[in-house]
Amino acid sequence: MKTNELMDQIESRIKELATRTEEAKASEEVTQYLQFLSKFHRYSLHNTMSIWIHCPNATHVAGYKAWQNLGRQVRKGESGIPIFAPCTQAVPKREEEDDEKKTRRVIGFKVVYVFDVGQTEGEPLPEAPITARGQADGLVPILESIARSHGITYGYQTMDGSHHGTSYGGHIEIDARLDDAGKVSVWVHELAHELLHKGDDRQMLSRLQRETEAEATAYVVCTHFGIDSAAPNYLALWRAEPEEIMGAFQRIRNVASTLIEAIEAEIPSYREEVPA
């Protein structure tokens, strides 16, 4: 395949992904999962950092009673994850108004404890609809080789819930539970993070921007090799907008092209097609 043909194909895939992501927001499985997520509180920066420090593999956290309301029970002996909770005090809205009309103001904070889903047992929670499908024979070792060629180390471990991979900036972890198609999708996603989001880029871009670029890259590469990526659902869960996908067009296109060409160079059938 000629370079311009590959670029045209990649551009077409990015545009297709933007459209499919918008459609996925109305899908039943995404809607159900978002309803599930709505039962969890959103956490501040300090609380997010505390959760990460005390339980770096946490996926879904909630208080003791909140887990009971979701049909799950915290196991005996589990240590809670400390976070800050506001202490409030009722105050009149205005002196001239009726004293019954009161509002609340934060007067301080206290430490409370939440628990990750991995510390609980009971009713199963819905999985995020982000599992890839398809034939991925031989692609995992090739992606491992590409990582090594960039000086990136990697490992496999069993992960909790819908968390399937992590990029640490020079090291990648992949969920050992996944089949080959799932591993390929996560591998490409994390490699995209490593290639796109190094140094200042890792700090300057928002997390949504980084995830949008990485998953869009994974979609393009996986689709090229016949793997049905769940990127539209993944990006819908992040509430990514089509404009955000298209806004990262050039960066996605460049890295997707780099990865596709690197993978093809390692596949015998592709090497045989390239004239000497």
Each residue's pLDDT tens digit, 98-108: 555 567 788 88
Does residue 94 share a domain with residue 55? Answer: yes
Q: 85 pairs with which residues across the strands?
A: 110
Average pLDDT, the chain: 85
pLDDT for residue 161? 65
DSSP letter string, 130-142: ---EE--TTHHHH
Q: 9-39: b or e for each residue (b if 16 or more CB lie within 10 Å)? A: bbeebbeebbebbbebbeeeebeebeeeeee
Give the pLDDT band of residue 174 (cuts 50, 70, 90). Answer: very high
pLDDT band at 274 (very low <50, low <70, confident <90, very high): very low
* 250-265 pLDDT, tens digit each: 999 999 999 999 999 9
Residue where a domain stops, chosen among 107, 122, 137: 122
Q: Are residues 14 and 150 in the same domain?
A: yes
When mean pLDDT is compared across 11-20, 61-70, 158-167, 184-193, the lowest value belongs to: 158-167
Count how many domains the chain has. Answer: 2
Residue 170 lies in a domain: yes
pLDDT band for 275, please (50, 70, 90 cuts). Answer: very low
pLDDT digits (tens, 9 = 90+) for 107-146: 889 999 999 988 999 987 766 677 788 888 889 999 999 9
Q: What is the pTM of this model?
A: 0.67
Q: Are residues 73 and 175 in the same domain?
A: no
CA distance 246 to 248: 5
Does residue 157 sit in helix, strand or coil? strand
Q: Does any domain span residue 35?
A: no
pLDDT of residue 73 exceeding 50: yes
Instruction: Give residue 250's domain range.
Output: 3-27+129-273
**Does residue 40 lie in a domain region?**
no
Measuring CA to CA, how many Å separate 177 from each of 37, 47, 56, 131, 230? 23, 29, 19, 11, 17
What are the pLDDT digits (tens) for 25-71? Answer: 888 878 877 776 666 666 777 888 888 889 887 878 889 998 998 88
Type of residue at 231: A
